[in-house]
Amino acid sequence: MIIDLLRHGEVEGKKSFRGHTDDPLTKNGWRQMMSSIDNYKPETVIYSPLKRCAEFTEKWADQNNIKSISMPEFMEMNFGDWDGLTAEEVQVTHKKELNDFWKNPIKYTPPNGEKLIDFQQRVVNGFYALIENNTDIDEDQNILLITHGGVIRMILAHVLSMPLEKLFSIECPLASMSRIRITFDENNNQYSSLVFHGCTTI
């Protein structure tokens, strides 16, 4: 089984802790994503229900007659009171909390936000559910997951057994693709490997 991870393209509005703030793609964002998966047809598309993933997925999947399934487990991290604000805006009212978060995001959480460890558990649970729900797919067939930078980093960190402290050392460009291969042995034990990361075309 091959799972391709596609990050959404450029989003309307300012650069911010976007999280669950539901901004749509720009026209350029649509072009970026279309360019990334031109002439590509997976067996199934899984996607985050946030607009910057869902609107493109639903239209593209419908046009190409591909089954698509929305999974909330693959929504971006919820930044609570900081959601939708720029780092500069947060620094005005929560300078210490922001600095603490940058230094140690595992220990410090944005006010009313999602703990990083909870975000990890949500995404990893979703990843296992995605695999379990698609075990009928042949080993060389593709599942496409259209989601967010934070989600992709979390999945890659899980596959590579990276500590959470290293999560933000993974760059994840807009509309880039990463590929994971899932294999099973004769005892149905599951193995994951990273094939490539950060490609803008496939």
Instruction: Give the pLDDT confidence of 111-164 residue by residue, as tens digits.
Output: 999 999 999 999 999 999 999 988 777 777 899 999 999 999 999 999 999 999
Cα–Cα distance for residue pair 112/82, rounded to 1 Å: 9
pLDDT reported for residue 202: 65
Q: Is the pTM of this model over 0.85?
A: yes
Cα angle vertex 118, ends 10, 153, to 5°?
40
Cα–Cα distance for residue pair 74/13, rounded to 1 Å: 22
Task: Work out the pLDDT band at 189, boundaries 50, 70, 90.
Answer: confident
Instruction: Give the pLDDT confidence of 30-81 residue by residue, as tens digits.
Output: 999 999 998 899 999 999 999 999 999 999 999 999 999 999 999 999 999 9
Cα–Cα distance for residue pair 108/100, rounded to 1 Å: 6
Task: Give phi and psi for 152, each to the nearest 5.
Answer: -65, -45
Which string of b and e fits 51-71 if b means at least 16 CB within 10 Å?
bbbbbbbeebbeeeeeebebb
Query: Domains in the chain, please, with CATH?
Result: 2-77+115-199 (3.40.50.1240)
Instruction: Give the pLDDT confidence of 157-183 residue by residue, as tens digits.
Output: 999 999 998 998 999 999 999 999 999
Q: Are strands 190-199 and 142-147 parallel, antiparallel or unpaired?
A: unpaired
Cα–Cα distance for residue pair 125/119, rounded to 1 Å: 10
pLDDT reported for residue 137: 73
